[in-house]
Amino acid sequence: MAVAMVAILLTVTFVTLPEPHTSKNPRNLVPVLIARRDVPNASCPWRLAVAGSVVALALTAMPLQAQDPPLPTVSVGAGMQTSFAHTAPADGDSTDAFALNSVRLYVNGSAAPKTKFMFNTEYDGAGNHVTVLDAAAQFELSDKLNIWMGRMLPPSDRANLYGPYYSNEWATFSDGIQDGYPFVASGRDNGVLYWGQFDKVKVSAGAYDGLSATGNKTVLGAGRVQVDFWDPESGYYLNGTYYGAKNLLAVGIAGQVQGSGRSAWSADFLLEKKLPNAGAVTVESEYASYSQLGGYNARYGQSDGAYGLASYLFPPAMGLTGKFQVLGKFAKANFSNGLTAIDRDYSQKTSEFNFNYILRDFNARVMLFYKDTRFDAVQSNFKQVSVGLQVQM
């Protein structure tokens, strides 16, 4: 742009020069052009030719101004989960329901070099409202130094860091164990986060607003350390499976604390092994303990439990674009230290079986599941059969 404007100005100046004998040329910019006394007038073709030559020389001699490289374009994506569920309680009538479980809109882009912005929303089918899921400035200086500020997933268990859209099973966050950490919206909190990738070790730590998450004004602290013994998992977010794309053996420990006497911690494990037949075996497990912080039932000050999950991804079937998968899960959670004497201690056992068809990993999958949830007190047993559809783009 600057070169073009210089060229235009030079051309205009030379074409409109006055008669050589009348010009005083105080700045002596181009004396060679006005020194000749035999130039008859300003419209002479000689002057136009010389002017054009000088413009060409100026364009050649001027260094081009350095410009910042273009930033990546803004990316926009979306995801949806919808399902049909038949629920049969032990002491009531069964129900059948179609549900729009979730709709998400993802917007990501770069504001400046090494500075990104993330904004995601979610429509919650159960509450029939739209909420801000994530909204954070991301300063990604290197693999080892990343600072996020705003609303995001805090350091917590693997289940929270993969969420419902990147889990291995459909019925996430219903076993009394997964992601019992306190949150503002769908596992998110408002605060500041550091995370870094040190080859096969990933560490993260953050400070979050306590009032919005728990009603307590004390700042909430969170941290997580994960070690990948086989293939590394790059980035902050995790998956519940990689559908055979990785050989993974990962162990993670996470914890959160708010003041004294309020804490939660968890330990999680994921193994995934690619098989020679293009199938894959996945094993996942977690133990979690919530002490006056988080948990599934607000009337109980203490809860803990563990689950184990195993799945097998079949090799591609002839004539089909996707893969079939079978999955089984068992979980047990215990609830104690009730608010009143009538809040009896109880336990929850959850058994789940999935038969899934994976069209394109997490972008398109159909999941059929059966879940049996049993309580030894306080709540009623129920069984559920459901088919769910997930699409993302």
CATH number for 267: 2.40.160.10
Label residue 210 by pLDDT band (50, 70, 90).
very high
- Lowest-confidence range among 26-35, 104-113, 211-220, 264-273? 26-35
Flag whether pLDDT at 224 surpasses 50: yes
pTM of the model: 0.82
Q: Do residue 256 and residue 375 come from a single domain?
A: yes
Q: What is the pLDDT of residue 211?
A: 97
Q: Is the pLDDT of residue 8 over 90?
A: no
- List the one residue out of 126, 262, 274 whose CA is nearest residue 186: 126
Same domain, 51 and 171: no
Same domain, 171 and 315: yes
Residue 13 has pLDDT above 70, yes or no: no
- Terminal alpha carbon distance of the chain: 39
Same domain assignment for residues 92 and 34: no
Do 268 and 346 sit in the same domain of this protein? yes
Mean pLDDT of 256-282: 97
- 299, 377: one domain: yes
Residues 6+ away with beta carbon under 8 Å from 333: 175, 176, 177, 296, 303, 304, 305, 347, 348, 350
State which amino acid sits at residue 345. Answer: D
What pLDDT, in 10s, does the model give residues 168-209? 999 999 999 999 999 999 999 999 999 999 999 999 999 999
pLDDT score recorded for residue 318: 85
- Note whether 307 and 171 are same-domain residues: yes
Q: How many domains does the chain have?
A: 2
Nearest CA-CA partner of 308 in 328, 279, 335: 328
- Let me know whether 237 and 97 are in one domain: yes
Tokens 């293939």 map to which residue? 231
Q: Using CA atoms, how far apart are residues 332 and 305, in angstroms rounded to an integer?
A: 6
Lowest mean pLDDT among 1-15, 78-92, 371-385: 1-15
Structural domain boundaries enclosing 28: 2-61
Same domain, 37 and 175: no
Residue 188 lies in a domain: no
pLDDT for position 132: 97
220 lies in a domain? yes
- Asked whether residue 126 falls in the same domain as residue 30, the answer is no
Q: What is the mean pLDDT of the chain?
A: 87
Give the confidence band of 163 by pLDDT, cuts at 50, 70, 90.
Answer: very high
**Residue 66, pLDDT score:** 54
What pLDDT is stored for residue 124 in this prediction?
A: 87
Domain shared by 219 and 343, yes or no: yes
pLDDT digits (tens, 9 = 90+) for 284-321: 999 999 999 999 999 999 999 999 999 999 999 888 98
Q: Is residue 190 part of a domain?
A: no
d(CA 189, CA 201) in angstroms, rounded, equals 24
- 189 domain-assigned: no
Which of 72-76, 78-82, 208-212, 258-262 is least confident? Answer: 72-76
Q: Considering the domain boundaries, does residue 205 fall inside one?
A: no
> In this structure, is residue 206 part of a structural domain?
no
Interval 22-53: pLDDT, tens: 433 343 333 333 333 333 444 444 444 444 55
pLDDT range class, residue 127, cuts 50, 70, 90: confident
Taking Cα atoms as reference points, which of 51, 43, 53 lies closest to residue 11? 51
* Mean per-residue pLDDT, 144-149: 98
> Quick check: is 90 in a domain?
yes
Percent of the chain clearing pLDDT 90 (strictly above): 78
* 126 shares its domain with 18: no
Name the band, by pLDDT with cuts 50, 70 and 90, for residue 126: confident
pLDDT band at 68 (very low <50, low <70, confident <90, very high): low
Residue 201 is assigned to a structural domain of this protein = no
pLDDT for the residue 73? 82
Reported confidence tier of residue 353, pLDDT bands at 50, 70, 90:
very high
